[in-house]
C-alpha cells in the first residue's frame, strides 16, 4: 500500500502467493477465535459440533448458505468412508475444487492482434489498479500494450490510469472528461492497429449492475469495438472484490447477461476476506477465475491457482 | 427459493396446517428460516446465532403460539428486534467542539470515501456549514485530483494537498488554513487501507491525535460480506469511531453488513449513499433497513419521494378531473413528469414489496428513453389535440410523428395506451375497482 514508487523493471522475488494468503488468513483466525488446525486435527471425531464448526467456517468465507449446506450434506452422506477430521478436510477440498472447475482457464490466446480485453465491474472493486498491474505484466513479457481510458465518468479516473500507464511504461488513449466511452474505445482500437500493439486493455467506469442504462452503455462499447475488429473484444474481464458478500453473485449474473463475461479477477484477497462467493459463481455461470489480486505491488496480481485458493480457505 | 422472509415463513407454516396447535418444534422450524434469510443477506454467522438466540424467547411466547398467522407474527418480531438492534432512531453528525470542527472519513480501498466526502460537503452546505475538503490520500494515484475535481463541481474549497506531503501534516495545515478563511468544518478524506495494515492504521491514529475530530466515520460498502465484522472491529478498536456511512445502497445488496457492523461496534449508522449524484446521500432509517434486509421492500422511502415531488394543489385538481373522467393527454404528460421526478423507474420498482423479487419485473428493462419519447410526442401536439384526442387522425399523426422525431407507430401506441387508461378511469368512476382486470394497466 505504501509503496507507490515506480514499478521495478524486474519484478521482485515474491513471498509467494500461498504464504501471503496464509499470513493474511492467520489474522482472520485470530479475529474469529476459531482454531482451524484443531478443527481438522486427525484425532478429532466427526460429530455435530464438528459439522457446526465446519458450517461456520464455510459461511464466514462467504461461500453462501446454500453451497455450504450442500457441501456439508454431501460430506455427511459419505461419512462411512470418512473416519476422521483430516479425511473430512480432504473430501471437502475435493468437492470445492470440483465446483470451481479444476480445469484452469485457457491461457490468453493472444493469437489475435491486437487482443482486446474489456475490464468491467461495480464501483470500487479495483478495476483501474488491476489494469495497471495487468499492463505491467504483459509489458514485462515484451508485449506492446495500449490502455483505453474509457472511464470518462468518475472524477480523475483518467489521471489515475495515466499514472499507472506511466509506471507500466505503456501507451494510453484518452479523451476529455464526460466523453463518450465507446468513442474512446474505438479510437484506442484504431490507434492499436496503427501502432501494431499486441494487447488493448479497455478501462470502463464502475457501475452498479442494476443500472439498466449503464449496462446499455457497456453493450455499446462492445458493439463499437466489434465494428473495428469483428471478433473483439476477445476477453471481458469482470473484477470482483473479495470483501463482497452474496451480492457478487448478482453482479456476475447481471454483467454476464448484459455483455457476456469470459473471465473473473478477484481482488483484495490480502485482507481478511476469503472471497468464497467465487466458488458459487464459477459453478453457476461456468466462468473461470483467471486472476487474483493479493496486494498493492506489481507482482501481486497472479494467475489463479485453484489448489492454493482452496487450501487458503481452510 | 423464497427471497422474502414473509413468503418463506408462510410456506414453512403452511406445511403444519391441520396439525392442530403449533408446537415449540414448529416455531424452531420458523426460526431456521429467519436464520437462512439473515445469512443470505450477509449478516455475520455469529451475529445471526446470537440474534436468533435473543428472539427465541419472544417467538416462543403467547403472541406467536396463539396467532392464526404465526408467520407474520414472527416477521413482526424479527423486524422490531432488528430495528432495535440497528439503533432505534436517527443519529446526526457530531459537529461539536472547537472551531473549526473536523470529520474524518476512514475505510477500506474502494468503499467510497472520496465520493462520500463530496456528498457530505453538499449536505453540510445545505445545513448552513462551510465545509473544507481535505485530500489526505497521498497513496492512490490521482486521489487528490479526484477530490479537487469534486470540489470544483460543487464550488466547495479544497485544501491544495500534494502527493509528496505527509498526511498528518496535510490535516494540520488544512486546519490552520480553515481557521484563517473562516471555514467551519473540515472533511478529512484519508487513504483507503486494509484494517490489518498496521503502519497505515497507525497513521490514522496520528491524524486523530493531531486533529481531535468531532466525528470519525467508517465508510463501508453495503455489499460487504462476512468480513464486515473484522473490518468494523479493527477500525473501531484503532480509532473509536463515531459512526458509519453505508455506501452503494442503490444496488440490490440486502445490506446485512449493517447489522454486523452495528452489533460488533455498537456505533450508529448515520448516512447511506444511494446513487452516483453528489446529492445522493440520505440519513439512515433503521426500520427501513430492516425491511430491506428481510426482502420486504421499502414503501416508506417511496411514499416520501412521492410526497416530495407531488404538488398538493395539482393533485387535488387531478382528482377532480379524474372523477369527471376528464383525463387529457396533457394530464397524462404531467403525471409522467411527476413520476420521473421520483427517480428512475427501476429504483421505484425495487422499493415495492415483492416487486424486486418478481420474476417478470426483474427482467423488465425499463427504458427511460421511452418516457422522453412519449413526452416529445405529446409536446408535438397542438393544445386542442391534447384535450381532444379523438381529433388525432391519420394526417395529424403523421405530423406529430415528424415533429417529435418518432414514427407513426409510436404515436399510435401512445394514443392506444392513453385511451386504455381513459377507459379504465371511466370504469372506476362507474363501478369502483371491479372490472379492472389484470393486464389492463398500460405499463
**Which 3 state secondary structure label does DSSP give A117?**
strand
Pick among B227, B273, B345 to test the A interface (most A CBs inside 10 A): B227
In order of A201, B174, B255, the CA distances from B246 in angstroms are: 32, 26, 9
Give the per-residue pLDDT at A240. 97
Say whether both B431 and B314 belong to one domain. yes
Rounded CA-CA distance B204/B168 in Å is 8
Cβ of B230 within 8 Å of Cβ of A31? The answer is yes
Min Cα separation B324/chain A (Å): 38
Owner of C-alpha cell 453540510:
B124
Say whether both B177 and B56 belong to one domain. no
Q: Is residue B92 part of a domain?
A: no
Give the per-residue pLDDT at B352. 56
* Residue A13, strand partner residues: none
Domain boundary among B250, B277, B294: B294
A208–B contact, CB cutoff 8 A: yes
Say whether both B282 and B153 belong to one domain. yes
Say whether both B283 and B171 belong to one domain. yes
CATH of the domain at B430: 1.10.260.30
Cβ of B223 within 8 Å of Cβ of A164? The answer is no
Domain that holds residue B204: 101-294
Give the per-residue pLDDT at B431. 59
Q: Is residue B389 part of a domain?
A: yes
Pick among A23, A61, A127, A247 to test the B interface (most B CBs inside 10 A): A247
Pick among B44, B221, B225 to test the A interface (most A CBs inside 10 A): B225
Taking the alpha carbons at both ends of chain A, their separation in whole angstroms is 26
Cβ of A123 within 8 Å of Cβ of B110? The answer is yes
Among the partner-chain residues A154, A156, A244, the one whose CB lies closest to the CB of B223 is A244
Say whether both B60 and B135 belong to one domain. no
Give the per-residue pLDDT at B443. 39
Say whether both B28 and B46 belong to one domain. yes
Which residues of chain A fall below pLDDT 50?
A: 1-17, 24-34
Min Cα separation B36/chain A (Å): 7
Long-range contacts of B20-28, Cβ-Cβ distance < 8 Å, separation of 24 or more: B21/B65, B22/B64, B22/B65, B22/B70, B24/B60, B26/B70, B27/B59, B27/B60, B27/B64, B27/B65, B27/B70, B27/B74
Q: Which A positions 124-153 lie with beta carbon below 8 A of chain B? A: 124-126, 153
A178–B contact, CB cutoff 8 A: no
Which residues in chain A have Cβ-Cβ distances shorter than 8 Å to B42?
62, 245-247
Domain boundary among B85, B111, B133: B85
Rounded CA-CA distance A216/A207 in Å is 11
Taking the alpha carbons at both ends of chain B, their separation in whole angstroms is 28
Give the per-residue pLDDT at B433. 46
Size of interface A-B (CB pairs under 8 A): 161
Which residues in chain B have Cβ-Cβ distances shorter than 8 Å to A61?
226
Domain boundary among B256, B274, B294: B294
Say whether both B381 and B419 belong to one domain. yes
Residue A162 phi/psi, 5° resolution?
-60, -40
Rounded CA-CA distance A72/A55 in Å is 7
Q: Is residue B91 part of a domain?
A: no
Q: Is residue B95 part of a domain?
A: no
In order of A209, B252, B288, B357, B364, the CA distances from B354 in angstroms are: 20, 13, 15, 5, 14
443 residues of chain B, pLDDT tens digit each: 345 666 676 676 666 555 556 677 778 888 888 898 899 999 999 999 999 988 888 888 777 767 767 777 777 888 888 888 887 666 788 988 888 999 999 999 999 999 999 999 999 999 999 999 999 999 999 999 999 999 999 999 999 999 999 999 999 999 999 999 999 999 999 999 999 999 999 999 999 999 999 999 999 999 999 999 999 999 999 999 999 999 999 888 888 999 999 999 999 999 999 988 999 999 888 888 888 887 765 555 655 666 666 666 777 777 777 777 778 888 888 777 777 766 665 566 555 554 544 445 444 555 667 778 888 899 999 989 988 888 898 899 999 999 999 999 989 988 888 888 788 777 777 755 444 443 334 43
Say whether both B290 and B311 belong to one domain. no
Rounded CA-CA distance A82/A60 in Å is 24
Give the per-residue pLDDT at B307. 60
Which residues in chain A have Cβ-Cβ distances shorter than 8 Å to B109?
124, 126, 268
Q: Is residue B381 part of a domain?
A: yes
Say whether both B242 and B330 belong to one domain. no
A213–B contact, CB cutoff 8 A: yes
Min Cα separation A1/chain B (Å): 7
Give the side-chain half-sphere CA count within 13 A for A161. 30
Cβ of A272 within 8 Å of Cβ of B224? The answer is no
Query: In 10 A of CB B15, how many CB atoms?
Result: 10
Q: Is residue B207 part of a domain?
A: yes
Say whether both B157 and B275 belong to one domain. yes
Which residues in chain B have Cβ-Cβ distances shorter than 8 Å to A26?
none
Query: In 10 A of CB B165, how many CB atoms?
Result: 15
CATH of the domain at B48: 1.20.120.140
Which residues in chain B have Cβ-Cβ distances shorter than 8 Å to A271?
108, 194-196, 227, 231
Min Cα separation B20/chain A (Å): 31
Dihedral sign of CA atoms B5, B7, B12, B14 in order: positive
Q: For residue B300, what is the enclosing H or E element?
A: helix B299-309
Say whether both B309 and B287 belong to one domain. no
Q: Is the peptide bond before A114 cis (omega within 30 degrees of 0)?
A: yes
Which residues in chain A have Cβ-Cβ distances shorter than 8 Å to B252?
209-210, 247, 250
Min Cα separation B426/chain A (Å): 35
- pTM for this prediction: 0.78
Rounded CA-CA distance B171/B174 in Å is 5
Say whether both B361 and B383 belong to one domain. yes
CATH of the domain at B215: 3.40.50.300
Owner of C-alpha cell 456476475:
A252
A271–B contact, CB cutoff 8 A: yes
Q: Is residue B417 part of a domain?
A: yes
Give the per-residue pLDDT at B101. 94
Report yes or no for ipTM above 0.90: no
Q: How many domains does chain B divide into?
A: 3
Give the per-residue pLDDT at A307. 84
Min Cα separation B242/chain A (Å): 22
A61–B contact, CB cutoff 8 A: yes
Q: Is residue B63 part of a domain?
A: yes
Min Cα separation B98/chain A (Å): 32
Amino acid at each position: 500500500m505504501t509503496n507507490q514508487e515506480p514499478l521495478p523493471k524486474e519484478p521482485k522475488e515474491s513471498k509467494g502467493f500461498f504464504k501471503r494468503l496464509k499470513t493474511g488468513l492467520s489474522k482472520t483466525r485470530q479475529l474469529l477465535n476459531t482454531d482451524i488446525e484443531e478443527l481438522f486435527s486427525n484425532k478429532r471425531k466427526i460429530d455435530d459440533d464438528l459439522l457446526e464448526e465446519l458450517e461456520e467456517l464455510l459461511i464466514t468465507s462467504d461461500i453462501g448458505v446454500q453451497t455450504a449446506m450442500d457441501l456439508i450434506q454431501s460430506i455427511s452422506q459419505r461419512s462411512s468412508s470418512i473416519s476422521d477430521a483430516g479425511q473430512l478436510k480432504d473430501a471437502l477440498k475435493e468437492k470445492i475444487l470440483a465446483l470451481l472447475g479444476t480445469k484452469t482457464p485457457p491461457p490468453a490466446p493472444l493469437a489475435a492482434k491486437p487482443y482486446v480485453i474489456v475490464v468491467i465491474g461495480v464501483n470500487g472493486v479495483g478495476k483501474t489498479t488491476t489494469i495497471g498491474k495487468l499492463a505491467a505484466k504483459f509489458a514485462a513479457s515484451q508485449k506492446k500494450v495500449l490502455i483505453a481510458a474509457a472511464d470518462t465518468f468518475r472524477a480523475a479516473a483518467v489521471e489515475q490510469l495515466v499514472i499507472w500507464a506511466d509506471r507500466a511504461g505503456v501507451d494510453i488513449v484518452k479523451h476529455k472528461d464526460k466523453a463518450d466511452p465507446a468513442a474512446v474505445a474505438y479510437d484506442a482500437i484504431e490507434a492499436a492497429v496503427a501502432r501494431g500493439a499486441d494487447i488493448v486493455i479497455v478501462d470502463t467506469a464502475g457501475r452498479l449492475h442494476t443500472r439498466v442504462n449503464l449496462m446499455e452503455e457497456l453493450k455499446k462499447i462492445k458493439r463499437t469495438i466489434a465494428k473495428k475488429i469483428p471478433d473483439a473484444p476477445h476477453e471481458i474481464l469482470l473484477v470482483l472484490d473479495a470483501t463482497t458478500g452474496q451480492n457478487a453473485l448478482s453482479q456476475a449474473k447481471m454483467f454476464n447477461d448484459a455483455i457476456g463475461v469470459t473471465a473473473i479477477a478477484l481482488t483484495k484477497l490480502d485482507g481478511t476476506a476469503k472471497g468464497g462467493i467465487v466458488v458459487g459463481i464459477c459453478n453457476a455461470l461456468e466462468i473461470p477465475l483467471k486472476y487474483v489480486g493479493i496486494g498493492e505491488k506489481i507482482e501481486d496480481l497472479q494467475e489463479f491457482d485453484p489448489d492454493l485458493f482452496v487450501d487458503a480457505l481452510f | 427459493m423464497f427471497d422474502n422472509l414473509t413468503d418463506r415463513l408462510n410456506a414453512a407454516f403452511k406445511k403444519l396446517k391441520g396439525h392442530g396447535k403449533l408446537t415449540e418444534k414448529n416455531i424452531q422450524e420458523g426460526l431456521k428460516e429467519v436464520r437462512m434469510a439473515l445469512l443470505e443477506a450477509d449478516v455475520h454467522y455469529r451475529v445471526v446465532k446470537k440474534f436468533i438466540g435473543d428472539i427465541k424467547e419472544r417467538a416462543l411466547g403467547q403472541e406467536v403460539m396463539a396467532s392464526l398467522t404465526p408467520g407474520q407474527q414472527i416477521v413482526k418480531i424479527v423486524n422490531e428486534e432488528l430495528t432495535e438492534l440497528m439503533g432505534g432512531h436517527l443519529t446526526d453528525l457530531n459537529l461539536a467542539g472547537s472551531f473549526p470542527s473536523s470529520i474524518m472519513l476512514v475505510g477500506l480501498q474502494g468503499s467510497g470515501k472520496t465520493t462520500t466526502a463530496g456528498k457530505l460537503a453538499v449536505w453540510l452546505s445545505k445545513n448552513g456549514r462551510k465545509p473544507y475538503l481535505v485530500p489526505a490520500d497521498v497513496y492512490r494515484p490521482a486521489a487528490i485530483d479526484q477530490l479537487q475535481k469534486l470540489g470544483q463541481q460543487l464550488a466547495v474549497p479544497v485544501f491544495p494537498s500534494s502527493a509528496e506531503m505527509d498526511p498528518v501534516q496535510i490535516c494540520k495545515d488544512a486546519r490552520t488554513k480553515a481557521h484563517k478563511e473562516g471555514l467551519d468544518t473540515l472533511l478529512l478524506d484519508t487513504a483507503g487501507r486494509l484494517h490489518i495494515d498496521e503502519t497505515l492504521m497507525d497513521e490514522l491514529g496520528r491524524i486523530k491525535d493531531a486533529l481531535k475530530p468531532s466525528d470519525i466515520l467508517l465508510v463501508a460498502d453495503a455489499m460487504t460480506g462476512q468480513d464486515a465484522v473484522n473490518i468494523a472491529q479493527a477500525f473501531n478498536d484503532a480509532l473509536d469511531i463515531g459512526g458509519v456511512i453505508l455506501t452503494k445502497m442503490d444496488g440490490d445488496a440486502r445490506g446485512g453488513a449493517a447489522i454486523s457492523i452495528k452489533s460488533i461496534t455498537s456505533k450508529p449508522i448515520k448516512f447511506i449513499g444511494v446513487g452516483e449524484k453528489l446529492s445522493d446521500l440520505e440519513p439512515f432509517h433503521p426500520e427501513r433497513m430492516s425491511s430491506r434486509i428481510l426482502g420486504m421492500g421499502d414503501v416508506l422511502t417511496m411514499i416520501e419521494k412521492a410526497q416530495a415531488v407531488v404538488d398538493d394543489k395539482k393533485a387535488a385538481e387531478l382528482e377532480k378531473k379524474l372523477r369527471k373522467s376528464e383525463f387529457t393527454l396533457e394530464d397524462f404528460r404531467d403525471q409522467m413528469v411527476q413520476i420521473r421526478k421520483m427517480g428512475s423507474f427501476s429504483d421505484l420498482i425495487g422499493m415495492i414489496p415483492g416487486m424486486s423479487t418478481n420474476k417478470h419485473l426483474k427482467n423488465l428493462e425499463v427504458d427511460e428513453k421511452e418516457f422522453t419519447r412519449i413526452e416529445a410526442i405529446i409536446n408535438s401536439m397542438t393544445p386542442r389535440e391534447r384535450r381532444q384526442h379523438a381529433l388525432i387522425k391519420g394526417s395529424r399523426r403523421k405530423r406529430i410523428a415528424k415533429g417529435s422525431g418518432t414514427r407513426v407507430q409510436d404515436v399510435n401506441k401512445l394514443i392506444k395506451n392513453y385511451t386504455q387508461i381513459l377507459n379504465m378511469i371511466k370504469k372506476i368512476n362507474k363501478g369502483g375497482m371491479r372490472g379492472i382486470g389484470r393486464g389492463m394497466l398500460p405499463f
